[in-house]
Amino acid sequence: MGIVASIIVAALLGALSFGYKSVREGAMGAALGLLGGSVILGSLRLCTFAADAASTEAVLGIGLAGAFAWMFGAGTRAVLGQRSADLGSGENRSGTYKLGWYWPWLLLSPTLLILILFLYLPAFQTFTLSTKLANLTSPRTADRCLSNFSDLMVESPTRIAMLPLVAIAMIWGVALWSKRSTPGTRSHSIAKTLQPMGILAVVFAFYFMFETESGTGGYRLIYLNTIIISLSIVALAMTVGLAMAYLAFGRIRGITVYRTLLIWPYAISPPVAGILFFMMFNATAGIFAFLADKIGIEFPNYTASAGMARGVIVLASVWKLLGYNLLFFLAGLQTVPRAQIEAATLDGANAWQRFRLIVMPALGPIAFFLLVTNLTYSFFEVYGTVDLLTKGAPASSTSVAIYEIIRVGVNNQNIGKGAAQSVLLFLAVIGLTAWQFRQSEGRVSYAGS
């Protein structure tokens, strides 16, 4: 039954993602979907539907088949589109060298070699390891099918099947609503404001899918930590960064010195940020404890309360990120059309209206780029800050996803479980990047690595 369900799901999603304008296109999409589904289920040797597999694994298997079907369909569509765009955009410009065929390959080979050996290969191995029972130090492994994943989730197959469907249905419903309703009406504006909330549906769906082990909080706690900490970092770092950019923009005596001093913390490492905030917020020797003592307040020990510990990590990370955001926002402010600002001022628009109607749209691409880089920072680089500040304490309430991966995979040496968690994080990153590409349509700037 599981196999039949996955065949249907794969064919449907393949057609949906590839396109179904004509019968031929739809058939092509369904075929691609089936190919994608059978690639993944075949490489798992259909273990998700074996007699001894848990029922949650069967649900995950159907989901996987669907996801791969979608990837094959959408991927082929994107490649075809890009290829025709490439041919049209005159990549073959005049002035190219016409030497032996091996020349470009020679120039590219070191880069390709390193990328394949140290990115593609480990990425592939992460996926294979995630289905294994493997120890960090021994080369022997045993197959675990998808139980590394189902261990992270609640033991209810219906919930795991329904939650994502509900989230997707909500997103589609709202999208349809905003498409159908007439622009300008109340109902349209409600639909428009609801649309960005779609991401919340996904966030909540995952929250209720992860297990809560009684006592430790389980992976749901890790997920919650990651969401709270990363969203707070991004929100604060971006708003404060923009405010500072406003302050540091334009000509004023000594502006280059001001800017250098404000941007400089960008060069500080996440562990150092952790150490500096460890000192300041130290309950016995820190400056804040001293000041609180002066005015007669007992300064709480941040390592004892989940909220405080998360707060200090967020503050340290925001402090470290500010310079980076300021730099990009400054570059973005240069692109704000000055003539429009002048016209709006003469028309009597106030500062807030000018900001909302002219500055914000112009900053859009930069803000979006920063949103994604800040999120990646708060997913990964925050490791150093957490390790030097709290080490995940108290009671795992500051253990974010990357910290948990290392704890499980390296400290507990269970590399298969760690790899499964890595795959989840990987999917989150792929989703974010795909979203970024769609929003910015190739306006890629450069990131930190």
Partner 1 sequence: MRVREQDNLTMNVGKVGIVRGRDWPRHVSLLLAIAVVVFPLAYAALISTQSNTQINNFQLTPGSSLGTHFDQVWNGANLGRLMWNSVVQAVLITVIKTVLSLLAGLAFVYFSFRGKWIVFFLVLITLMMPTEVMILAMFRLVSDLGLKNSMAGLVIPFAASATGAFLFRQHFANLPKDLSEAAQIDGASPLQFLFKILIPLSWNVIGALAVIQFVFVWNMYLWPVLIVSDPNSQVVQQGLERLKSTDTGITYGPLMLAALLASLPPALVFIALQKPFMSGFAVSADK
What residues numbered 300-359 form the site for partner 1, per CB under 8 A? 319, 322-323, 327-328, 331-338, 341-342, 345-346, 354, 359
State phi, psi for 181 to the nearest 5 degrees.
-70, 150
371 binds partner 1 (CB under 8 A): no
| Nearest distance in Å: CB 390, partner 1 | 12
47 binds partner 1 (CB under 8 A): no
Q: Whole-angstrom Cα distance, residue 309 to residue 389? A: 8
Q: Are 157 and 209 in contact (CB under 8 A)?
A: no
295 binds partner 1 (CB under 8 A): no
Backbone conformation region of residue 13, classed left if phi is above 0, alpha if psi is from -120 to 50, else beta? alpha
366 binds partner 1 (CB under 8 A): yes
| Nearest distance in Å: CB 206, partner 1 | 17
CA distances from 86 to 92, 150, 233, 445 (A): 9, 42, 38, 20
| Nearest distance in Å: CB 22, partner 1 | 26
| Nearest distance in Å: CB 267, partner 1 | 4
119 binds partner 1 (CB under 8 A): yes
136 binds partner 1 (CB under 8 A): yes
Which one of 23, 51, 107, 295 is in contact with partner 1 (CB under 8 A)? 107
Which one of 27, 162, 387, 393 is in contact with partner 1 (CB under 8 A)? 387
269 binds partner 1 (CB under 8 A): yes
| Nearest distance in Å: CB 3, partner 1 | 30
Which one of 145, 170, 248, 400 is in contact with partner 1 (CB under 8 A)? 248
State phi, psi for 75 to the nearest 5 degrees.
-65, -45
Which one of 253, 347, 350, 352 is in contact with partner 1 (CB under 8 A)? 253
In the bound state with partner 1, the residue whose beta carbon lies nearer, of 153 and 316, is 316
Which one of 157, 164, 265, 394 is in contact with partner 1 (CB under 8 A)? 265
In the bound state with partner 1, the residue whose beta carbon lies nearer, of 2 and 274, is 274
95 binds partner 1 (CB under 8 A): yes
CB atoms within 10 A of CB 148: 22
What residues numbered 392-421 form the site for partner 1, per CB under 8 A? 402, 405-406, 409-410, 415, 418-419
Tokens 């490489």 belong to residue: 43
241 binds partner 1 (CB under 8 A): no
Structure tokens at 441: 């349509």
Print the SS3 string covering 150-205: HCCECCCHHHHHHHHHHHHHHHHHHHHHHHHCCCCCHHHHHHHHHHHHHHHHHHHH
Q: Whole-angstrom Cα distance, residue 364 to residue 110? A: 36
91 binds partner 1 (CB under 8 A): yes
Q: Which residues pair with 210 in a beta bridge?
A: 153
Q: Are 55 and 5 in contact (CB under 8 A)?
A: no
